[in-house]
Chains A and B, each alone.
Chain A
Amino acid sequence: MLRLNCPICGPRDETEFSYGGDASVKRPKMDETDPQIWIDYVFYRDNPRGPHLEYWHHVQGCRQWLVVERDTVSHEIASCRLAREVAR
C-alpha cells in the first residue's frame, strides 16, 4: 500500500485516493479543433519505467487533485503537490 503525503491532510493511505492518470499530458485548449491533438491527449500515453508524473485525487479526504511524482519501479514518491499549485 502506498502512502501519499497530501499537502492538506498529511500522510494518508493509498486507499483514500483514486488514481487519475498521467499528469504530464496537457489538455488542449477548449477552442482547439484539431481532432489529432485531442486523440493524442485522450488516448496516447507513455508507459515509463521509472519516474512518472501522475494525478491522484484525495477522494476520501480533502478532495484535492494532487500531482505525484512516483517511480513506477520502486513506488518511491519524489513529490506530492496540489495540482492547482503546480506551475503549468
Chain B
Amino acid sequence: MTGRRLETGGRIDRSRPLSMTFDGRRVEGFAGDMLASALLASGETIVARSFKYHRPRGVYSAGVEEPNALVHLRDDGRQEPNARATMVEAFDGLIATGQNAWPNVRWDLQGANRFLAPFIGAGFYYKTFIGPIRGTGFWMFCERFIRRAAGMGRAVTLDDPDRYEQANLHCDVLVIGGGPAGLSAALAAGRAGADVLLVEQDAELGGSLLSEPVGSATDAWLNTIAPDIDAQHNVRVMRRSTVFGAYDHGTYGLVERLWDHDVRPPEDQPRQRFATVRAKQAVLASGAIEQPLVFGGNDKPGVMLAGAVRTYLNRYSVLPGSRIVVATNNDSAYAPALDLANAGADVVLADARTGLPESLLENTRNGGVEVRLGHSVVQAKGRGRVQSAQIAAVDGAGLMAGPATSVPCDVIAVSGGWQPALHLWSQRQQKPVFDSEKHCFVPIADAAPPMICAGGVMAASGLEEAVGQGFSAGVHAADQTGATRDAGSILTAPSVSVGDDWTREIAPVRFIVDANGKPKGKAFVDLQHDVTTADLDLAYREGYEAAEHAKRYTTAGMATDQGKTSGVNTLAQLAALRDVAIGEIGTTTFRPPYTPVNIGALAGAETGPHFQPTRLTAVDQWHRDNGAVMTEAGAWMRPWYYPQMGEDLRAAYIREAGHVRQHVGIIDVSTLGKIAVQGPDAAEFLNRVYINGWKTLAVGRLRYGVMLRDDGIVFDDGATARLGEYDYFMSTTTANAAGVLSVAEKLLQTEWTDLEAHVTSITDQWAAFAVAGPKSRDLLAAVVEGTDLSREALPNNYFAHGSVEGATVRVHRMSYSGELAYEVYVPALRGLDVWQALIAAGEEFDLRPYGTEAMGALRIEKGHVAGPELDGRTCLGDLQLGGLPSKKKPFVGSVLRQCPALVDEQRPTLVGLEIDGETGATPGSLLFAEQGPMEGHGEGWVSSTTYSPALGKNVALGLLKNGPNRMGETVRVANFFGDRVLTATVTSHHFFDPDGERQNG
C-alpha cells in the first residue's frame, strides 16, 4: 500500500499545510484532513498493532467504526489513548504515537504473540480457571504475560490541564445526524416553526455526501440547503458533537468537542463540553455503516472498506493505493471503483453476484474498471501489508467454485453490505428486525417514540428515499411539538450516477471460504478484538450457541468499537453454524455510549474538591486561620484538632479533651441538623416520632430524644427545645439531618395529613457552639447580656435568650461532654461575631477551641452513643437505652422493637472496654472470650476508641454478647487487618462521672 496525495481535488485547504508527527516521523497534511488521511497520504501503512496477536494493522475505515487505527495522542497531561485516527482532525503540531507495540508498530517484538495464537483462542481466560491446573493459580501465572502483551493503549496518571464543562440543552426537535436525511429533517422541522437542534459528529455538514466528488450534483444540493437552514433562526447547528446516549423521557447525552482540533484550548475555554439534552421529539438520522467481507488475511494493512477508500479519495484527495481490488456483494462499491479508476488507479472489481443489469456493467467497464462477476477475494497475501489478492469464482454462499488467481495489488477495498447505525434506537430497549432482502437489521421507524428513524438508519433505498424520509420525519416531529407553520414542499434529492442504492439485489455473501467452508488463512470477524472465524467455530463447538454467550466467550463485538464492523458478521456466522436464518439469532443490545466518551467531559468541573458540594460553617475561615486540621463530616468540613507546636493528632486531642475537663473549651457544632417543628400538633408529632414523651415539656425547656425506624432499629438522637406554645427546635446528628427531615416530611405529607404541624430545615440558618468545662458558666456570664445564667436561673436542660455584641443568641444548657456545658445558638450571619466575642472574652478563662477528635474522646468517657453505635443495626436495648421509651404511647417503631430478634438477651450490648497496653484498640476490632478459638465474627465488636485523659488509659465502647452480665471479664480484642490481638476488661460504658455531678453542677 503506497498511499499518496493527488495534485488536485478534495475538500482540503491546500493553502494551509500542516505538520504533524507519528511515532516521531513527520507527517504532512492540510487543513481539512483527518489524522488517518494524512497518515495514508504520507505512506504510513502500519499504524497499529492488534489486540492479542500484535498483527500489523492499517487504517480500515473513514469514520466512527474504525477498528484498527487506534493511536495515542498528544503528550504530558493531555495524553489520550485509543483515539481513532479516522476521527482525529489534523492540526499543526499534532503528536500521535502507535500503541500496544514495542519498540514501535513497524517493528513490534511482541509480534511473537502470534506463535501463542493456538493457546490464546476463544475462552482462554476462562479455561485457565479450570485446567490444566486447577484453581486460579495458572491464570495468575499467565496473566502477568498476557496483561503486558495484550491490550490497547495506556492511560496516563498525570493531571489533565484542560477544563471540561457540563451544560443543559433544550429543544423541541433533536435531529441526530447532519447527512441528507438529517438536513432534510432539520429544515422541515425548522420551517414548521419548531425549536430544532441539529447535531453532527463531523466538523462539516453533509454526511455521506462529503464523500462524493467535489463539484458533483450533491454539492449543489448541499449549497442550496445550507443557507436555507441558516435562514431558520430556530435551528441551532452543533458540529463536532456526538449524541452518544438516548435515555428515558426524551433525554440524551451529547458531547461537544470544542478544541480537540487544535493543540490546546484557548485559556478561557473548555476542551470538551458534555450536555444533557432534553428534547420533546428526536429524529435519528445516523446513517449506515459499511460491513466487511471476511476472508483469509482480511486484516492486513491495505484491506479497507470500499466506501472509506472513496472518502479518502474524494474528500481528502488521497489515493490509498495504485493497484486496487474491489470486492463486493452489492452496488455501493461501483462508485468507489469508478472514482478510483478515474483517479488513475488500476481497478479490478470482483462482485460475488451474477446477473447484474447491463447498464451498470457497461458504465463501469467504460470507466476503466475490470469487472469479474461471480468472483470474490478468498485471501489477501503479503508480508506486513497487502501485496496481492487471491480472486476466485464463488457460489451464492461464498464457497470457492474454481481455482484462485493471484492479482497483484496494494489495496483491497471491500463491501459486505451496510448496517444501519441504529445504536441510539436500540438503546431505547428496542429490538431491530432482520430485513432478509436488504440483509441488515433495521429499526422500526416509530417504535420508540419520541424518536423517529429516517434515512440510512432505515436502510433507505437511495438518496431520494432518504431525503423523503428525513423531511417527513421533520414535519411529523415538529407537528408533535405543536409547531403550526407550513414546512413547504418536500425537497428534491440530488442525483448520483451509480451506487446510489446499496440495498438493490444485495447478496448475502459475507464469508469467502474454500470449497470445504474453511477460510484460506486467519480470517478475522472482529478486527479490534482479534476474533477469528475459528474462534467462533470453537465457541459454538463448546456450546456457546446463543449470541449473548458466544459474544462474551469470544469477546467478539465487545471492543471499544462495540462491534460496528463485526456485530452482523458474528451473528451471520453463528446463524450459519446453527443452520438458522440470521434473524432468528437475535441481536445483542447496544448500550451507551455510541462512541467512546472522555471521562473528563462527563466529570466536567466536578473534580477534586468540586466532586461534590462542600458545606462550610460560618466560622470555617477562623478555624483554618487558627491552625485547625479539618476533617470531612458528610458534606461538611469540621475542625478535627488544633495542633500546637508540631503536635500530632493523638497529642492534640488528649490535650484538648483534658483542657475541657479542667478549664473550658469551645467547639463549632453548627453542623448539627436543625429542624423547626411548628404548628398546633407539633407536640403530637414529636410524641409520635420520638420514643419518649413530649406533651409535658414546658416552654423554655429542652429534652433529649431518640428516634427509631419502623423496624425498631435506632435511627437518630438529639435534643429538642420548646421555644413557644407551637414552636419546637429539633436538633439531629450531623449525619442524619437530611434523612430525619425527609422522614418527617413523608409522615406529615403522606400518612399523618390530619396533623397540623410543619417541619422546616434551619440547619444553615443557625450557627451553634458548644462551650464546655468547669469555667463555662463564668465565661458565658461575662459575654452574654440580658439574661441570668446562674445555676438557679438556668438549670440543666433549660435554655435562655440573650445577646452578644447585639446579636440575639439562645443559650441551651446541656452537656455532651459530661462537663458543665452550654450550646450557644446564633443566626448564622452573626455566627463569626459571636464566636470571636467568646474567644476574646475567653482569654481570662483560658478558653481553647477543641475539635471533633477531642469531642469524641469526651463523649466516649461519658459513654454517650454516636454514629459508630447508631449504625443501623442496633436497637434500644443494645445501646442500654431500654429505660427511655414511654410505655404510655405508641411511637414509630414501638411495635416492631418488641419483636423476638430485638429483645433477645444474647444480642451484643453496649459495654465499656479498658484496653490493656499502650496502643489502644482499632474501631471495628472483633471481641472474643479470653479462652477458645478465634473464629468467625466473634462475640461482638469495638465501635469507638480513644485514649481517656481523665482515666489515664485507653478505653473503648463496644457491643458484646450478653455484655451487662460480663462486667470485669477479660476479653480479647482482635484486629485481623493488623494481625494484632489485645486484651481488655469489660466495664460499664459510663467511664467518667457516672452520676453526672459535673454536668448538673
List, in ascending order, chain A residues with CB within 8 A of B751's CB: 27
- Assembly CA distance A75 to B247 (angstroms): 11
- Assembly CA distance A82 to B251 (angstroms): 24
List, in ascending order, chain A residues with CB within 8 A of B899's CB: 35, 39
List, in ascending order, chain A residues with CB within 8 A of B501's CB: none
List, in ascending order, chain A residues with CB within 8 A of B251's CB: 1, 3, 13
Q: Indicate if the CB atoms of A2 and B745 lie closer than 8 Å.
A: no
The total of interchain contacts (Cβ-Cβ below 8 angstroms) comes to 65
List, in ascending order, chain A residues with CB within 8 A of B711's CB: 42-43
- Assembly CA distance A41 to B753 (angstroms): 18
Q: Mark B359-379, 1 if CB is under 8 A from A, else 0.
A: 000000000000000000000
Q: Does B278 contact A (CB under 8 A)?
A: yes
With A1-B276, A20-B746, A31-B890 in contact, is A38–B896 under 8 Å at CB? yes
Q: Does B688 contact A (CB under 8 A)?
A: yes
Query: Interface residue count for A (Cβ, 8 Å)?
Result: 31
Q: What's the minimum C-beta distance from A19 to chain B, rounded to whole angstroms?
A: 11
Q: Indicate if the CB atoms of A63 and B745 lie closer than 8 Å.
A: yes
Which residue on B lies nearest to A73, using beta carbons?
B429
Interface of B is mostly: helix
- Assembly CA distance A12 to B891 (angstroms): 35
With A1-B276, A35-B899, A55-B746 in contact, is A30–B688 under 8 Å at CB? yes
Q: Indicate if the CB atoms of A42 and B746 lie closer than 8 Å.
A: no
With A1-B249, A42-B710, A84-B750 in contact, is A35–B898 under 8 Å at CB? yes
Q: Does A46 contact B (CB under 8 A)?
A: no
Q: What's the minimum C-beta distance from A1 to chain B, rounded to whole angstroms?
A: 5
- Assembly CA distance A30 to B894 (angstroms): 9
Give residues 57-88 of A contacting B (CB, 8 Å): 57, 59, 63-65, 67, 75, 77, 82-84
Q: Indicate if the CB atoms of B896 and A65 lie closer than 8 Å.
A: no
Which residue on B lies nearest to A63, using beta carbons?
B745
Q: What's the minimum C-beta distance from B194 to chain A, rounded to whole angstroms?
A: 18
Q: Does A33 contact B (CB under 8 A)?
A: yes
Q: Mark B232-251, 1 if CB is under 8 A from A, else 0.
A: 00000000000000011111
Which residue on B lies nearest to A3, using beta carbons?
B249
Contact partner, B745, options A23, A38, A65, Cβ 8 Å: A65
List, in ascending order, chain A residues with CB within 8 A of B278's CB: 3
Q: Does B965 contact A (CB under 8 A)?
A: no
Interface of A is mostly: mixed
List, in ascending order, chain B residues with CB within 8 A of A39's CB: 896, 899
List, in ascending order, chain A residues with CB within 8 A of B276's CB: 1, 13
Q: Indicate if the CB atoms of B895 and A32 lie closer than 8 Å.
A: yes
Which residue on A lies nearest to B684, using beta carbons?
A30
Q: Does B742 contact A (CB under 8 A)?
A: yes
Q: Indicate if the CB atoms of B749 and A35 lie closer than 8 Å.
A: no
Which residue on A lies nearest to B253, using beta carbons?
A1
Q: Indicate if the CB atoms of B749 and A3 lie closer than 8 Å.
A: no
- Assembly CA distance A77 to B742 (angstroms): 23
Which residue on A lies nearest to B895, using beta carbons?
A38
Q: What's the minimum C-beta distance from B442 to chain A, rounded to whole angstroms?
A: 22
Contact partner, B896, options A18, A31, A35, Cβ 8 Å: A35
- Assembly CA distance A53 to B891 (angstroms): 26
List, in ascending order, chain B residues with CB within 8 A of A3's CB: 248-251, 278
Q: What's the minimum C-beta distance from B603 to chain A, rounded to whole angstroms?
A: 16
Q: What's the minimum C-beta distance from B134 to chain A, rounded to whole angstroms?
A: 40
List, in ascending order, chain B residues with CB within 8 A of A59's CB: 738, 742
Q: What's the minimum C-beta distance from A71 to chain B, rounded to whole angstroms?
A: 11
Q: What's the minimum C-beta distance from B771 to chain A, rounded to whole angstroms?
A: 33
- Assembly CA distance A13 to B249 (angstroms): 10
Q: Indicate if the CB atoms of A38 and B710 lie closer than 8 Å.
A: yes
Give residues 886-922 of B contacting A (CB, 8 Å): 890-891, 895-896, 898-899
Q: Indicate if the CB atoms of B247 and A1 lie closer than 8 Å.
A: yes
Q: Mark A17-29, 1 if CB is under 8 A from B, else 0.
A: 0101001000100
Give residues 810-837 of B contacting A (CB, 8 Å): none
List, in ascending order, chain A residues with CB within 8 A of B249's CB: 1-3, 75, 77
With A1-B276, A38-B710, A38-B895 in contact, is A84–B749 under 8 Å at CB? yes
Q: Indicate if the CB atoms of A65 and B749 lie closer than 8 Å.
A: yes
With A42-B711, A57-B742 in contact, is A83–B895 under 8 Å at CB? no
- Assembly CA distance A6 to B392 (angstroms): 67
Q: Indicate if the CB atoms of B749 and A83 lie closer than 8 Å.
A: yes
Q: Indicate if the CB atoms of B247 and A65 lie closer than 8 Å.
A: no
List, in ascending order, chain B residues with CB within 8 A of A63's CB: 745
Which residue on B lies nearest to A84, using beta carbons?
B749
Which residue on A lies nearest to B738, using beta carbons?
A59
List, in ascending order, chain A residues with CB within 8 A of B746's CB: 20, 55, 57, 65
Give residues 31-51 of A contacting B (CB, 8 Å): 31-35, 38-39, 41-43
Q: Indicate if the CB atoms of A2 and B898 lie closer than 8 Å.
A: no
Q: What's the minimum C-beta distance from B741 to chain A, rounded to whole angstroms?
A: 8
Give residues 689-746 of B contacting A (CB, 8 Å): 710-711, 738, 742, 745-746
- Assembly CA distance A65 to B750 (angstroms): 7
- Assembly CA distance A9 to B734 (angstroms): 29
Q: What's the minimum C-beta distance from B797 to chain A, rounded to whole angstroms?
A: 27
- Assembly CA distance A33 to B889 (angstroms): 11
Which residue on B lies nearest to A83, using beta carbons?
B750
- Assembly CA distance A38 to B249 (angstroms): 36
Interface CB pairs A-B, < 8 A, 29: A1-B247, A1-B249, A1-B276, A2-B248, A3-B248, A3-B250, A3-B251, A3-B278, A13-B251, A20-B746, A23-B750, A30-B688, A30-B891, A32-B895, A34-B895, A35-B899, A38-B710, A38-B895, A39-B896, A39-B899, A42-B711, A42-B896, A59-B742, A63-B745, A64-B749, A65-B749, A67-B750, A75-B249, A77-B249
**Given A1-B249, A3-B250, A3-B251, 15 more pairs with CB closer than 8 A:** A3-B278, A13-B251, A13-B276, A20-B746, A23-B750, A30-B890, A34-B895, A38-B710, A38-B896, A41-B710, A55-B746, A55-B750, A57-B745, A77-B249, A83-B749
Chain A to chain B: the 5 pairs with minimum beta-carbon distance, closest first: A3-B249, A65-B749, A83-B750, A27-B751, A1-B251
